[in-house]
Structure 1
């Protein structure tokens, strides 16, 4: 597929570049709990007290799993092993990029055969772990497992999905209705965003408001197709598809290592690499 070269983007001003830089104190604050995940399984909600955790293993699951935090919320459907309505809440935070609930991904769904998934009655939670702003869910089916890891932050490397099926698995990403993929003129890479100008976007006393900006973060994965709202990835067994939001989405890193076991890839670089200006008024792919 050919991607049409976007129209020239408006160069960011000095004020914009300054607005992009996250103060060191704020970046360090990511190491302290900011969120509070609660996960609902089979009608029961698990919400541990601060500093405590909840673990659940080898449990049957029926119906969608609801993951809700202060900054992030989404559902996992055991019938498809897909993620649906991955949403930023817009809760007050110095690093928030939206001021109201905004669907970033309408879905992140693997393409699996009925034989791989097996009967719905056999879908089980192999592991569920929740602690403060961390949540991990591992679902086991006939053909393998799917692992979901999430952080309840306003931005950063805060989500990844890892298939273990012994062979490559296609995962289809569909953006929310307000977002689109575009080529970032400053990095030459593909980002997704909502196109708002962070200089003129509304601000509040509770924190500034940048444009919503992110990127897909593949590890041992190959892009098969992309248009303005959909990307298809082929992910090796043990690889992953991550999601990075905010400043980390434009840091000039080397990317993830080619690793499928005990990987040490780090999405959240915390300002240690150069950060180009945010794009202003980007053009969607194919636009």
Structure 2
């Protein structure tokens, strides 16, 4: 999300579906089609995503003094990880965490108060924030966190393997891209991506992706993270089961096509790479328990 955006809720249209269309491969960067297992899978789409199965490692960051939310991922019984720009401006008592099964409409969830917020080294706020990670420590143990947490992906993925690596994200952010009409999902939904070494924003003017981020191409045409998806997980998928294997990144920001002023978050999803910060993450968890 770009959190400074004012929230105007549009009526959700659960009947809205899209047919699956796969992007044309980008010859400039050697992008190849994703796994045939996904390509041949039939499903109904909501705008900018598919309905998600149960992802109990997903959590919501909420605020006591303002509307809106961010996504997060459970790391263990006391800690969740999110984007730093979601929480750098609040005190711990002004934010709380909701944990539950958000794949269901109107889910039951448990609320956890926050005792401390840790921002990653070198965090810089902008419309493309840098080193955009934060860890939140809860005041009480998160129930069933040991079985519902998502392990970290410690190893870097070689760039030569990017087009063949299938990754996914899940969230509850806007399912429409209008700048003044933010329409949150009614249940958890997710999108599949492949990785790229190039920044996909800005039309055909490809630039190298920043070293603190993973740049992604959507498997389904038009797929993207949007407002209030920020802070959510980017997970590497097991190529056989398509189940999340480990936490690869955290949703940081999305961009709009430079020639489209009516829409936002319709051109490029960017995620902070966990492997760059794995030492810092482990240090926070070990030294602040």
**TM bucket by the smaller chain?**
under 0.3
Structure with the higher fraction of residues in strand conformation = 1
Structure showing greater radius of gyration is 1
Give TM-score, length-normalised by structure 2.
Answer: 0.26
